[in-house]
């Protein structure tokens, strides 16, 4: 088994992003990513700091918009929508993302529609998802795009491969399945209602785990030699992160496996940045 090195892929991608950002700056365009943070979640705060740090390192301005409500109230749908509309209309902003978790009763699909598709660098607008399904040019959710980026850099053929995606979320499972389908894999989407999940997964040449349950993909889920992409980022009690794949159990069986941390995560961040410079580039033609 060989580890798929997400950090190395991210490094290569970020070098390309930095070069592109420098080119844009030389033309007077400062690529800018706006991150809307509607809650006080600690995990989110950590993640947003890491995005900002990464962005600024590669020459992208990062504007964090932390929405606050007077306690005990939480930020409402209207305020999130207003901020997303404002940023979508602001010519100095090229990429807009809205961080989860959202306040209770608010869904990402609901607010995503207020992010301009031209700035929707994390594919939260259902129009972006529809364009993805239709095979049109669009921004895919960065995590789903990271799954494909990692697969395409490996020496394997996706065309005709059996791909199984475990998880059917709108942000990861479904877009990853659609991207794999665009690459001509035969794609199966599994979820909590799937019967004999291990047997279905064992058919996979490419297995994508995106369920959010620590270590649930064990040895009996994996065909010998399969490529396994672990999207899970489950916090451990000691402040670490583990994936959805039981790494120790699966490593001897899989052909290739992404570690957690160091797999999908860094590539996701790098692709958010790449999407932002692409969006900045688009302003030259779309204004």
SS3 per-residue string spanning the chain: CEECCHHHHHHHHHHHHHHHHHHHHHCCCCCEEEEEECCCCHHHHHHHHHHHHHHHHCCCEEEEEECCCCCCCCCCHHHHHHHHHHHHHCCCCCEEEECCCCCCCCCHHHHHCCCCHHHCCCCCCHHHHHHHHCCCCCCCCHHHHHHHHHHHCCCCCCCCCEEEEECCCCCCHHHHHHHHHHCCCEEEEECCCCCCHHHHHCCCCEEEECCCCCCCECHHHCCCCCEEEECCCEECCCCCEECCECHHHHCCCCCEECCCCCCHHHHHHHHHHHHHHHHHHHHHHHC
Does the footprint of a copy of itself cover residue 195 (CB under 8 A)? Answer: yes
Nearer to a copy of itself, 170 or 234 (CB): 170
50 among annotated binding-site residues: no
Q: Which of 43, 101, 130, 225 binds a copy of itself (CB under 8 A)?
A: 130
Q: Which of 136, 156, 198, 282 binds a copy of itself (CB under 8 A)?
A: 136
CB of 250 to a copy of itself, least distance (A): 21
Find the binding residues for a copy of itself in span 142-161 (CB under 8 A): 159-160
Does the footprint of a copy of itself cover residue 45 (CB under 8 A)? Answer: no
Q: Which stretch binds a copy of itself (CB under 8 A): 32-40, 80-88, 176-184, 262-270?
A: 176-184
Does the footprint of a copy of itself cover residue 207 (CB under 8 A)? Answer: no
Q: Which of 187, 210, 222, 273 binds a copy of itself (CB under 8 A)?
A: 187
Does the footprint of a copy of itself cover residue 88 (CB under 8 A)? Answer: no
Does the footprint of a copy of itself cover residue 85 (CB under 8 A)? Answer: no
Does the footprint of a copy of itself cover residue 134 (CB under 8 A)? Answer: yes
Annotated binding-site residue numbers: 167-169, 233
- Residues lying near a copy of itself in the complex (CB under 8 A): 109, 125-136, 159-160, 162, 168, 170, 174-175, 177-178, 181, 184-191, 193-195, 200
Annotated binding-site residue numbers for NADP(+): 167-169, 233
């Amino acid at each position: 088994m060989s580890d798929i090195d997400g950090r190395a892929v991210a490094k290569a991608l970020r070098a390309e992003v930095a070069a592109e950002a420098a080119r844009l700056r030389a033309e007077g365009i400062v690529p800018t990513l706006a991150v809307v943070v509607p809650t006080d979640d600690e995990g989110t705060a950590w993640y947003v700091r890491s995005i900002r740090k990464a962005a600024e390192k590669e020459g992208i301005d990062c504007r964090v918009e932390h929405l606050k409500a007077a306690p005990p109230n939480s930020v409402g749908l209207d305020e999130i929508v207003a901020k997303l509309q404002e940023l979508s209309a602001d010519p100095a902003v090229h990429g807009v993302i809205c961080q989860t978790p959202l306040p209770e009763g608010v869904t990402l699909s609901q607010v995503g529609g207020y992010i301009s598709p031209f700035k929707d660098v994390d594919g939260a607008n259902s129009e972006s998802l529809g364009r993805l399904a239709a095979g049109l040019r669009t921004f895919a959710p960065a995590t789903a795009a990271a799954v494909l980026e990692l697969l395409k850099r490996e020496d394997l053929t996706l065309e005709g491969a059996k791909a199984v995606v475990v998880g059917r979320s709108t942000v990861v499972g479904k877009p990853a399945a659609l991207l794999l389908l665009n690459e001509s894999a035969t794609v199966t989407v599994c979820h909590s209602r799937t019967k004999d999940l291990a047997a279905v997964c064992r058919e996979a040449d490419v297995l994508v785990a995106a369920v959010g349950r620590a270590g649930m993909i064990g040895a009996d889920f994996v065909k010998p030699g399969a490529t396994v992409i672990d999207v899970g980022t489950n916090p451990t009690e000691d402040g670490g992160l583990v994936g959805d794949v039981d790494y120790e159990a699966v490593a001897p069986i899989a052909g290739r496996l992404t570690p957690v941390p160091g797999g999908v995560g860094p590539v996701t961040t790098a692709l958010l940045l790449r999407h932002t410079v692409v969006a900045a580039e688009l302003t030259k033609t779309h204004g």
